[in-house]
Structures are given as structure tokens and as C-alpha cells.
A and B are shown apart, each in its own frame.
Chain A
Amino acid sequence: AQSVSQHNHHVILSEAASLELGCNYSYGGTVNLFWYVQYPGQHLQLLLKYFSGDPLVKGIKGFEAEFIKSKFSFNLRKPSVQWSDTAEYFCAVTNDYKLSFGAGTTVTVRA
């Protein structure tokens, strides 16, 4: 069975700081990778996704993620965060039909 590990449970940073959230998965076959975000009081929504091709993927709101196959990683980055980026972030992996989520990272951005 595949598993997804997110390294940080809670990250606190100031506006304009850079953000990087780690994600590693255990499945060795072909995978599709996702980052979902849940803003306070809102439902889960897709931030970005990787299926194939360029391992550097750009998503909404200035986020990007890099797929490193040799490290089984799919880390999320944003060069300069805003207060509105305060949210919970989930990494997810699917090998075909089943989406497996990490435990999530709560990001708090202080103004």
C-alpha cells in the first residue's frame, strides 16, 4: 500500500518569507501527485498536480512543486507568502484509482 509523509505538522512564518513543505511517498510505480489546500472555513481544493513531463509544476496563487523521482518527493514551495496563505496543506498521491493523503501541514502566516 502506498503511504504519504508530510514532514511538518505546523509551520509558522511571517509575510514575505519563503515557504517549503516536504512530501514523500512510498509507492514505487508510476504515480500522479497533488497538493490540496484547505483555507479556514472552506473545502479542500486543488493547488497543483503532476502527471508527467516537466518535474517543476506551477499551480495557483504562486505555488510550485518539484517532483524528484529518485527521492520519492514532491515538495511544495512559494517564494513569498501572504497572510491569505494561512491554511492547511495536504499532499496526495494516486497510483491509479485511489488517492492517498498525507496528514497535512498547517501553515500560519503572521502579518
Chain B
Amino acid sequence: EAEVAQSPRYKITEKSQAVAFWCDPISGHATLYWYRQILGQGPELLVQFQDESVVDDSQLPKDRFSAERLKGVDSTLKIQPAELGDSAMYLCASSFTRGGSYEQYFGPGTRLTVT
């Protein structure tokens, strides 16, 4: 069964450093999502791509976070500089296309610890 791939699985970084996460969605999925999940809370959408275009980044802290999906396939989420409050699980998900009726498939996540 096809899966969403993410790397790295774990990342420890010092505050003020730059960090990047990578996601490879299920082949053929046009929509890609990045979520942040803080311990004890549910996932919160950071950014949503339809192919290579950002369609929702209203919750993305744009002063320090950036995301790209240049060729409409894999995607990178970057934080620069990292802050202590960025410690969380970063989840990537994909779906066939946009719309609430399409199931989102989640990757294993990247657990970020900022020291």
C-alpha cells in the first residue's frame, strides 16, 4: 500500500538554527498538507498545496516558516530561525485532490525538538 514518506523522523536543533523537513506524498495525489501537532493537541493545518500552488497558508507563521512544492510532487517545510515554541510533531498528508470528501493520508511525522 502506498504511503506518505517523511524525513527525518526526528530532529533536534538549537534555537535560532534553520531546520527543514521533507515530504513525499502518495503518487498521483494533487493536494499536500503540512500540519503541526503540539503535544496534547490535535493536528493544526499550516499550509495546503494544490499541485505546486499554495491554496491556504493562513496559519503559517510566515516570518519564520516557508513551504514549497516546486514540481507539484514532493515538498519541503523550513523553519528559520527555530524557536523553543516550535517543538512539535510536523505531519505531512496528501489526498487525491482538494475537497472534504477526499481522504487525507498521513505520513509518520517529524518530531522536532528545539533546545
- In the complex the two chains form, what is the Cα distance from A103 to B44 in whole Å? 10
> Is A44 positioned at the interface, with any CB of B under 8 Å from its CB?
yes
Q: A43 with B101: in contact, given A97-B55, A98-B45, A101-B43 (CB under 8 Å)?
A: no
Interface centre among B43, B55, B101 (most CB of A within 10 A): B43
Lowest 4 A-B CB distances belong to which pairs? A101-B42, A94-B100, A32-B100, A44-B106
> Is the CB–CB distance between B100 and A96 below 8 Å?
yes
Q: Are B100 and A97 in contact (CB under 8 A)?
A: yes
Task: Give every chain B residue within 8 A of A68 (Cβ-Cβ).
Answer: none
For the complex, is B48 an interface residue (Cβ under 8 Å from A)?
A: yes
**Nearest-neighbor residue (CB-CB) of A4 within chain B:** B42
B99's partner among A36, A49, A97 (CB-CB below 8 A) is A97
Judged by a CB distance under 8 angstroms, whether A56 is at the interface is: no
A36 to B41, CA, bound (A): 14
Does A102 belong to the interface (CB within 8 Å)? Answer: yes
The total of chain A residues at the interface (CB under 8 A) is 24
A-B contact count (CB 8 A): 53
| A5 shortest CB reach to chain B, Å | 11
Tell whether A51 is near chain B: CB-to-CB under 8 Å. yes
- Which residue from chain B places its CB closest to the CB of A101 in the assembled complex? B42
16 contacts between A and B (CB under 8 A): A4-B42, A31-B100, A36-B106, A43-B4, A43-B106, A46-B104, A51-B101, A90-B43, A92-B42, A96-B99, A101-B42, A101-B44, A102-B42, A103-B41, A104-B40, A104-B41
Tell me whether A103 and B48 are in contact (CB under 8 A): no
CB distance from B101 to the nearest CB of A (A): 6
- Tell which of A90, A95, A99 has the most Cβ of chain B within 10 Å: A99
The interface bits of chain B over 6-47 (1 if a CB of A lies within 8 angstroms of the residue's CB, else 0) are: 000000000000000000000000000100000011111100
